[in-house]
A and B are shown apart, each in its own frame.
Chain A
Amino acid sequence: MFYPNLIKERKTIMSEKNLRYSLYLGCVIPNRYPFIEQSIRNTFKELGIELVDMQGASCCPAPGVFRGFDITTWLVIGARNISIAEENEADITLGCNGCYGTLLEVNHLLKHDKKKRDMVNKHLAKIGREFKGTIEVKHLIEVLYYDFGIDKLKDYIKIKFPDLRVGVHYGCHILKDSSNRPWGGEYEEPRFFDELVEITGAKSIDYKDKIMCCGAGGAVRTASLEVSLDFTREKLENMRKVNVDCCIVCCPFCHLQMDLGQMQVNDKFKDIIGESYKIPIIYYNQLLGLAMGMNPGDLGLVAGHDLKGVPPFISIQPLIQKIKEQMI
């Protein structure tokens, strides 16, 4: 809405043949859902996309949480993270809608507002850093869809899963503010994520209020767990009604909310939901990797530990079983 020219401005600083990005991890992926990290690193390696680590990166900081507490802090810490990628001389790619919201907005604001940039750089100078405005911030879904290209991605698909019914969950900040997201202004009925899912042969099943929020964001999960879980309950109910085999996400906070949150919904709302929900939550790169013929053990789909109280909280075995059947 605010930056109508951004889509035209977006360009990539590397040539098409040599895709190279700074991988921004955020908090939830590396610290709670490391199997997502495994699936991102390994699928990108298989596709020949180089990922450079961002040494010393912090929380993005979260767009609804810390931005809600203090916008200046959010800008300055966000700029510090971006400055690490600028030193790498590689655009940022990331797998979290929240981090995407923050780093994309901070990058855009500071590139276009000299006064803000000067203010931020005055703070950064104290730790010997600077925001230069030399890179772009891209969700990995965007990298796969545009930079690598969905058509080229199709060439890498070795196995298809035509019997798989998938509930696609976009999440919010990958789509909105739609004026500075790369989807041509579409936010009510986007298709790009469904298309990426469907190249694996799986069917993306429409369900009620598909674009609705998972309920975790905006510091609501911390403010009122019950309210936040009620969003999740509604989403799960709408997906169960159309009988999906799994839900595919592209954000670890949505992942957490639909996985850990699903377990909590099953407990807190047991009187109104009837049977417990059992919808496996899978990150996009995990599904993509399977379709590329990769080993489930390289995609975070096989737990090599016997730890208690760690994700996934909702068993993914029924899905793995179903996929195995389709592979024979």
Chain B
Amino acid sequence: MEDLKSDRILEIKDDISNELRKAGYAEIGACIQCGNCTAGCPSGRRTALRTRSIIRKAILGLEEVLSDKELWLCTTCYTCFERCPRNLPITDMIIFLRNLAVQRGYILPNHLNLCRMFYDTGHGVPINDEKWNIMRESYGVNRVPPTVHTDPKYVKEVQELISSVGFDKTIAWGKYAKKEEKAEKK
């Protein structure tokens, strides 16, 4: 006969829930696992995202809550946030968990590209083709909108802030940027 193995979680790590508490989300301890959040989640209707289980895994400190792709399938629609009978600010907590995930290196390549776009242009969706300028003109608005696009000094401001906060280091742009620069010089 084979040895019996317990599938119970014998050790509860509290690093993730402690991070949540430190960030002001002490409510995590109030979750009664009722599942109301999952029941109303429009993403859970079509994906494996289970909001209740995200909260449970965060309480238990399971690293998979940060590495599972499901964490990125929440559209931040705030339905669970509004309906939680224990008043957990669930959506905000999911966003905080995403921050933790990124800090630990869990980020999708597409999202990393988006970050670089934001750093390079100051926009998540920039004017990256002249057709958008032509289109603007045809609708009677300025060819260049009065945003960061008017002057590179504004993009610099955004970049300075991103560096000041240290976000560039979090996702290691600094490293990538330098590598690319070196490659270009060669």
Contact = CB atoms under 8 A, between A and B. Distances in A.
Contact of B147 (A41, A57, A176): A57
Given A56-B147, A65-B124, A72-B167, A31 B154 contact: no
Contacts of B153: 56
B6 interface: no
Contacts of A304: 138-139
Dominant secondary structure of chain B at its interface with chain A: helix
A124 B157 CA distance: 9
Given A34-B141, A176-B77, A187-B82, A58 B111 contact: no
B177 interface: no
A32 B147 CA distance: 14
Contacts of B75: 64, 172, 213, 215-218, 220, 228, 231
Interface string A166-203: 00000011011110000000011000000000000000
Contacts of B98: 68-69
B134 A172 contact: no
A67 interface: yes
A223 interface: yes
B72 A223 contact: yes
Contacts of A305: 134-135, 138
Interface residues of B, number: 63
Nearest to B102: A69
A176 B79 CA distance: 8
A255 interface: no
B42 A231 contact: yes
Contact of A58 (B87, B127, B154): B154
Contact of B139 (A1, A76, A300): A300
Interface stretch (B28-36, B51-59, B115-123): B115-123
Nearest to B161: A76
A328 interface: no
5 nearest A-B residue pairs (beta carbon): A176-B78, A30-B145, A56-B154, A218-B76, A64-B76
Interface of B: 42-43, 46-47, 69, 72-79, 81-82, 87, 89, 95-96, 98-99, 102, 107-108, 110-111, 114-115, 118, 122-127, 131-132, 134-136, 138-141, 145-148, 150-151, 153-155, 157-158, 160-162, 164-165, 167, 170-171
16 contacts: A34-B135, A34-B141, A54-B146, A56-B148, A59-B123, A70-B99, A71-B99, A73-B167, A77-B162, A126-B160, A126-B161, A172-B78, A177-B89, A188-B82, A303-B138, A305-B138
